[in-house]
Structure 1
Amino acid sequence: MKIGILQTGHSPDMLKGEFGDYDTLFPALLDGNGFDFETFAVVDGIFPSGAEDADGWLITGSRHGAYEGLPWIPQLEDLIRAIRDSGRPMVGICFGHQIIAQALGGKVEKFSGGWAVGRTEYDYDGKKVWLNAWHQDQVTELPEKARVMGQNDFCHNAMLAYDDTIWTVQAHPEFSNDFVAGLMRTRGKGVVPDTLLQDAANRQTAPDDNAEIARIMADFFKKARA
């Protein structure tokens, strides 16, 4: 099965040597499932010819906001709707979660409650999972047909599903604790309040549920659909 990665951002230059760019984190996360991957760096204006260029699609995180007036965002929204209409499975992570919601009629805003950073607990389909978060923007109004699958008190729309073909998550199952520590060093200072950074650093030694969410993502891509 070929998964097209729609890359909407880049890792900080100081982290690429150790961890790779955003698109390389997902083949590692989903390793062992028999997927082939092709990256389309939409953030740099590189787009597929259409939804048929892959069997499934994954939209990465980004430092950009879905509401920013960037020239590639309307084109990405058109592609999201085309993928939706094609019936191919699509997964969105953080910015991907947000841009899918926006493209399908929802609203994304800079959240007045501030940032979520580091190891964070979510209620997913009735069970507790721990994932690394790195965001201030949130989906604040749901699109039609979106179902809330996961949330916490800070982020009510943290995991969404649309019919049987779209699944999205606000957190970052592709981010290891070490990667988040790198983000705190390279992008956090002066942007995220110091108290939040310190609290996040204090939580970073505990385990996460990245592997469980990776299994959910892989099963979602591979499941039989009518």
Structure 2
Amino acid sequence: MKIGILQTGHAPDEVRDDLGDVNDFFIRLLDGQDFTFDTYAVVDGDFPDGPTDCDGWLITGSKHGAYEDHPWIPPLETLIRDVYAAGVPLVGICFGHQIIAQALGGRVEKFGGGWAVGRQTYDWQGEEVALNAWHQDQVTALPKNATPLASNAHCENAALVYDTRIFTLQAHPEFGDRMIDGLIQARAGSVPPDLIAQAKTNLGKPNHNTRLAAQIGTFFKDRHL
């Protein structure tokens, strides 16, 4: 099964030599599930010809806001709507979670409650799930066809599913401790010091990246979680 990675940003220079670029994180995350990958750096204007070029699509995270004025955002929103209409499975992570909601009629805003950085715990349909996050923007109004799966006190719409066609997460199952430590070094100046200190304290604690990797794989193959 061929997955098209729609890359909406690049990894910071501080981690790229060690960990690779944004697409490499997802290739590692989904390794061993019989996927092949094509990457389209949509952030640089590289788009597929159409929604059926791949068997499934994954939209990555980004430092950009879904509501910002970039020339690649309107065609990405069009592609999202085309993928949804074509019934090709689509997964969105962080920015991907947000831009999908926006493209389908939801609202994305800079959250008044501030940042979430490092390890977070979520109520996932009655179970506690821990994942790394790094965001201030959030989906604050849902498209009519989105169903929430997970939330916490800071992020109401932390995971969404759109019938059997789209699955999105605000957190980063592709981020381990090395990436969070790199982001602390690269972007700490924009985040309150107490949140950075907490993120450092949480380095080394367990998370559910492997579980989410399996869920993403199952969604691509079987259209359920």
- TM-score higher than 0.5 here? yes
Does the 8 Å CA contact 2:133/2:171 hold for their aligned counterparts?
yes
Match of 1:2 in 2: 2
The 10-residue stretch of structure 1 (70-79 or 200-209) with the greater mean CA deviation from structure 2: 200-209
Residue 224 of structure 1: how far off its partner (Å): 5.7
Match of 2:76 in 1: 76
Match of 2:193 in 1: 194
* Corresponding residue SS for 2:73: helix
Equivalents in 2 of 1:14, 1:191: separation in Å? 16
**Matched letter for residue 128 of structure 2:** K
Equivalents in 2 of 1:124, 1:86: separation in Å? 29
Unaligned runs of 5+ in 2: none
Match of 1:98 in 2: 98
Match of 1:183 in 2: 183
Deviations 1:76-130 (A, max 9, x none): 0000000000101000000000000000000000000000000000111221110
Does the 8 Å CA contact 2:89/2:223 hold for their aligned counterparts?
no
Equivalents in 1 of 2:203, 2:146: separation in Å? 32
* Corresponding residue SS for 1:180: helix
Normalising to structure 2: TM-score of the pair? 0.98
Match of 2:205 in 1: 206
Equivalents in 1 of 2:36, 2:17: separation in Å? 23
Please state if 1:113 is matched with 2:90: no
Write the mapping of 1:128-147 to structure 2, written as runs, cut at 5 A. 128-147=128-147
The percentage of counterpart residues that share the same residue type is 57
Equivalents in 2 of 1:156, 1:213: separation in Å? 19
The 10-residue stretch of structure 1 (117-126 or 89-98) with the greater mean CA deviation from structure 2: 117-126
Write the mapping of 1:32-71 to structure 2, written as runs, cut at 5 A. 32-71=32-71
Deviations 1:134-178 (A, max 9, x none): 000000000011000011010000000001110000000000111
Deviations 1:38-81 (A, max 9, x none): 00000000000000110000000000000001010000000000
Match of 1:148 in 2: 148
Equivalents in 2 of 1:18, 1:110: separation in Å? 30
Match of 1:162 in 2: 162
Equivalents in 1 of 2:67, 2:223: separation in Å? 34
Go from structure 1 to structure 2 and tell me whether the alpha carbon gap of 1:114 and 1:32 turns closer, same or farther (over 3 Å shift): same
Does the 8 Å CA contact 2:164/2:223 hold for their aligned counterparts?
no
Please state if 1:174 is matched with 2:174: yes
Normalising to structure 1: TM-score of the pair? 0.98
Runs of 4+ in 1 over 2 A off after TM superposition: none
Please state if 1:223 is matched with 2:222: yes
* Corresponding residue SS for 1:51: coil
